[in-house]
Amino acid sequence: MIEIIDDGRGIDLEVIKRKALQKNLLTQQELQGMNDEQIMNILFWPGFSTGEVVTDISGRGVGLDIVYTKISHLNGKVNIKSTLGQGCKLSIQLPVTMATIKAFLVRINNQTFAIPTSAIKTALLIKPKDIFHKEGKETIIVDNRTIPLFKLSSILEMPEQKIYDDKIVVIVIQSEEFQVGFIIDKLIGDQEILHKNLTQPLVRVRNVAGITTLASGDLCLILNVNDLIKSSFKDSIITRRQVVITDDDMQESNTKKNVLVVDDSVTTRILERNILRAAGFNVTIAVNGLDALTKVLSENYDLIVTDVEMPEINGFELTERLKKDEKYKHIPIILVTSLASEVDKKRGYSLGANAYITKGGFDQGELLNTINKLITG
C-alpha cells in the first residue's frame, strides 16, 4: 500500500462537476445521481482535468488516467480521498508479488490455458498409429522412452475432446523424474504472462496454479504441472481398479452420503462440489435457495452446505424453512458465507444451522471434518 498525503486545500467536488458539464461528459441529471466518491473518480477519466491552463506538466488530463490504467493492469487499486480545506490522500494498493513467467498457451474445448514453459519438454504432432497400449494405458515413445499419454480435457474434468483423425497435438510435461504426454486441441504459442495468485475462497484449486489476463483481455487459468501429473497417475490407477464392477462396488456406491451444495457463485459451487466428491460424497448442486427447495422435495439428502447471500431465497430463509418442516428438520445444514459478524453467526444458529463457516477463513479440512461429525453424529 502506497499512500501520498498532502496538507493543501483539497479537491473541490463542485469544480469537478462544473468541468464535467463544460466538457459535456455528464448531464446535470447524471451528476445528481452520483455520490461523492463517484464524482471524485471522474478525475481518473481520460482527458479530464480541473486545470484552467494547459502547461507542459498539467492541464491535459492524462496523468491520473495513466496511473489508473497501469495500476489496473497490475491487478491493483487506486483511490482518492479529500477534505476541502485540509488536504488530500492518494492510496495505491498493489499485489505483494507481481511475477512474470514464460508460458505456452494451449487450447482445449475452445478454452485457453497457460502452462509454464520451464515444465514443457517438447511438443509433438503424432498420428493415431503412433499410440500403443501398455498396462492398460495409452503410451507413446519419445526419445526412446515410453511416455504415458492422457487427454488434458479428461484430467481437467472437461467435456470429451474432439475425435482426432490424422494429426494429434501432444505436449510432453516433465516434473522431476516423471514425464507425461497430454493431448490438446491446439498449441497457440509462447507468451510472457503476469502470474496472479487465486484469492479466497479459491486459494487452492486442484490442477490450477493461478490466473492471468491475456493481451486480448480474456482471463486464462495457469495450470499446476505437479498437480496435472499427480492427477494423471491417480486417475489411471482408479481406472484400472474399476474395470470390473462387482455387486460389492455397487453396494458401496449406494451407501455414499448425499450432499446438496447451494451457492449462486459458479466458482464456489464447483470448488465445494469437487472437494466433496473427492472425499467420497454424492453431490448435487443448486444455484439458490429456491432451486434447493425444489431439489429437496424430489431427493433425499444427508446434509446441506449453503451460502447465505443469494437471489430468490437466501441461505437464512432456506435454513428457517427446512428447520420448521418436520420432514426436513433432521437434515444438518452448514452455512458457508462471507458474512463474518457475530450478529450474522448468531442469526444463522438461531434459525437452526448446525455449523457456520466464513469464506474468508475457508479451510477444506475444516469443512470435511464438520461434515463428517454432523453425518456420523
Q: What is the pLDDT of residue 350?
A: 93
Q: 189: which residues sit within 8 A by CB, 6+ positions away?
A: 104, 105
- Domain positions in the chain: 2-93, 99-237, 245-376
The cell for 148 is: 504415458
**Under 8 Å between Cβ of 326 and 301:** no
Most confident of 91-95, 96-100, 359-363: 91-95
Higher-pLDDT residue of 143, 201: 143
**Under 8 Å between Cβ of 338 and 358:** yes
Give the whole-angstrom CA distance, residue 116 versus residue 253.
38
Rounded to an integer, the average pLDDT of 93-110 is 79
Q: What is the pLDDT of residue 54?
A: 64
For the domain 245-376, what is the CATH code? Answer: 3.40.50.2300
Rounded to an integer, the average pLDDT of 309-328 is 88
Q: What is the pLDDT of residue 268?
A: 81
pLDDT tier for residue 163 given thresholds of 50, 70 and 90: low
pLDDT in tens, 215-231: 777 888 999 887 888 77
The cell for 150 is: 492422457
**Under 8 Å between Cβ of 226 and 270:** no
pLDDT in tens, 254-292: 467 899 999 988 778 888 888 888 888 888 888 888 888
- Tell me whether residue 281 is exposed, middle or buried, using C-beta atoms within 10 angstroms of its C-beta: 0 to 12, 13 to 18, 19 or more: buried
**Under 8 Å between Cβ of 258 and 284:** yes
Give the whole-angstrom CA distance, residue 277 versus residue 186.
30
CATH (one of 2.70.170.10, 2.40.50.180, 3.40.50.10540, 3.40.50.1860) for 99-237: 2.40.50.180
Angle between helices 342-350 and 315-324 (to 10 degrees): 20
Q: The domain at 2-93 falls in which architecture?
A: 2-Layer Sandwich (3.30)
Angle between helices 289-298 and 315-324 (to 10 degrees): 30
pLDDT tier for residue 317 given thresholds of 50, 70 and 90: very high
The cell for 187 is: 498449441
pTM of the predicted model as reported, rounded to 2 decimal places: 0.41
The cell for 67 is: 496511473
Poorest-pLDDT segment among 24-28, 71-75, 250-254: 250-254
Q: Across the chain, what does the average pLDDT equal?
A: 81
